[in-house]
Amino acid sequence: MIKVRKPGINIGELISHYNGYNRKINQSEQHLTSQRIKFITSQELNGGEEANYCFEFALLNRNFLMALDQEKLYEILEDGEDKVYVLLTESWFYIVKSFEENNKYVTQIILTLHYEYTPQAEYHENFDVQLNMMNEPEVKNWFSQIRPREEEI
């Protein structure tokens, strides 16, 4: 017998809200975004490295991989069909809280992206991010794997 997971359980919604002073971003469609994401429990990266409990998303015309378990943020660079994951050491995020709300499991995240617009102009662009997943036991189990590590820090 084959056990079939509930279809779509790993699909979620990512809402981002720019929380900074850059007028150009504030007046663009990047100020408030919503996108569908696919939650990945394990993703192989460059050189055999692995990211756990992660998802890909786009923001400010760049593509990222957010690895919740390792608290690492990668920029995804594509060369044809190949993907290269570049660890962003000057950008970071942290999970504020996770909670159940009706049929959703909500995770709120603060994201800071480092941008070097010119050699004289470097900024940290701040975003409030909310990840909405289905309120299912399997989803809660995924996030329970992340939360204990987070609470130790």
DSSP string, the chain: ----PPTTTTEEEEEEEE-S--HHHHTSGGGEEEEEEE-EEEEE-GGG-EEEEEEEEEETTEEEEEETTTTEEEEEEEETTEEEEEE-SS-EEEEEEEEEETTEEEEEEEEEEEEEEETTEEEEEEEEEEEEEE--HHHHHHHHHHHHHHHH-
pLDDT at residue 129 in the model = 96
Cα(1)–Cα(91) distance, rounded to whole angstroms? 46
The token pair at 109 is 């995240």
pLDDT at residue 153 in the model = 47
2 band by pLDDT with thresholds 50, 70 and 90: very low
Average pLDDT over residues 138-149: 76
122 band by pLDDT with thresholds 50, 70 and 90: confident
- Pick the residue with more confidence: 85 or 153? 85
Asked whether the predicted pLDDT for residue 134 surpasses 60, the reply is yes
Q: What is the pTM of this model?
A: 0.84
- Pick the residue with more confidence: 78 or 153? 78
Identity of residue 98: S
39 band by pLDDT with thresholds 50, 70 and 90: very high
Residues for the chain: how many in total?
Answer: 153
69 band by pLDDT with thresholds 50, 70 and 90: confident
In angstroms, the first-to-last Cα distance of the chain is 42
pLDDT at residue 146 in the model = 79
Residue with tokens 């329970």: 144
pLDDT at residue 6 in the model = 56
pLDDT at residue 104 in the model = 92
